[in-house]
């Protein structure tokens, strides 16, 4: 009986590790399953984010230009409200690692703010050029 229990436990553990190989963050579709690993090279559309992030870069630029995604909105309406709500910049009694993490957070937020400002300026300049050409 003990051998049967050990055998069943081994089967369960082996099947769990085999299942763990499947990445649950990459939703399979009929196309991705049919093409297997080849889809990574040619991935487009929303699946490119999961399978081919480099191929997604062009789509991300197009979405940003179209106003679907805006770095300024991301900074002002998503990141900063969370930082304020969680009071991340107001925490005290942090150890050295916590202070370092907070400094990194402040630097990342500042870099995001600078990138958002550049993004808005570039978009406005491109819109002005486009408007000048049209009329």
For 49-98, the pLDDT digits (tens) are 555 566 666 677 777 777 777 888 889 998 999 999 999 999 888 899 99
**Among 64-68, 93-97, 109-113, 127-131, where is mean pLDDT lowest?**
64-68
Count Cβ neighbours within 10 Å for each residue of 11-25 and write b for 16 or more, e otherwise. eeeeeeeeeeeeeee
Average pLDDT of the segment spanning 121-127: 90
Q: How far is Cα of residue 56 from the mean position of the Cα atoms in its chain?
A: 11
pLDDT digits (tens, 9 = 90+) for 10-60: 666 555 444 444 454 555 666 666 666 665 555 555 556 555 566 666 677
Q: Report d(CA 46, CA 32) in Å as an integer.
A: 12
Structure tokens at 113: 């703010």
Note the pLDDT of residue 35. Answer: 64
Note the pLDDT of residue 9. Answer: 62
Which residues does 56 contact at the CB level (< 8 Å), separation at least 6? 43, 48, 49
**Quick one: the chain helix, strand, coil %, rounded to 5?**
80, 0, 20
- Other C-beta atoms within 10 Å of 108: how many? 11
Q: How far is Cα of residue 104 from the mean position of the Cα atoms in its chain?
A: 18
Single pTM value for the model: 0.57
């Amino acid at each position: 009986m003990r051998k049967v229990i050990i055998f069943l436990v081994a089967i369960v553990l082996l099947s769990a590790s085999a299942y763990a190989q499947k990445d649950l963050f990459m939703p399979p579709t009929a196309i991705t399953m049919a093409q297997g690993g080849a889809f990574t090279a040619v991935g487009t559309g929303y699946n490119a984010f999961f399978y081919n992030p480099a191929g997604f870069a062009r789509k991300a630029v197009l979405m940003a230009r179209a106003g679907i995604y805006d770095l300024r909105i991301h900074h002002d309406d998503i990141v900063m409200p969370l930082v304020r709500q969680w009071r991340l910049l107001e925490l005290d009694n942090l150890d050295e690692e916590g202070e370092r993490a907070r400094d990194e957070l402040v630097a990342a937020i500042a870099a995001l703010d600078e990138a958002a400002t550049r993004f808005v300026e570039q978009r406005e300049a491109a819109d002005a050029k486009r408007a000048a050409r049209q009329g």
